[in-house]
């Protein structure tokens, strides 16, 4: 199994788990709705945090060499 296929299976499994949790626990669905509503306003903050984590991982890999 190639890494690309394994990654696609993992993403599909995570999406299915999230959907199952929303169906089983109604509060989970409410939480996801609130999160998506707030995400419209805070997407830039999450983007900055993601870029910072990405660069710290890259810098950590360079220091190991």
pLDDT at 63: 65
Helix residue ranges, H only, 1-65: 3-24, 26-64
Query: Whole-angstrom Cα distance, residue 19 to residue 65?
Result: 41
pLDDT tens, 40-50?
878 888 889 98
Question: What pLDDT does 64 receive?
Answer: 63
CB 32 within 8 A of CB 22: yes
Let me know: does 41 contact 47? Beta carbons within 8 Å.
no
Which residue stretches of the chain have pLDDT < 50?
Answer: none
């Amino acid at each position: 199994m190639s890494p690309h296929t394994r990654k696609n299976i993992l993403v599909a499994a995570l999406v299915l788990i999230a959907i199952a949790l929303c169906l089983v626990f109604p509060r989970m669905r409410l939480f996801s709705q609130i999160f998506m509503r707030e995400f419209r306003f805070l997407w830039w903050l999450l983007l900055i945090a993601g870029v910072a984590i990405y660069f710290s991982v890259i810098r950590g890999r360079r220091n190991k060499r």
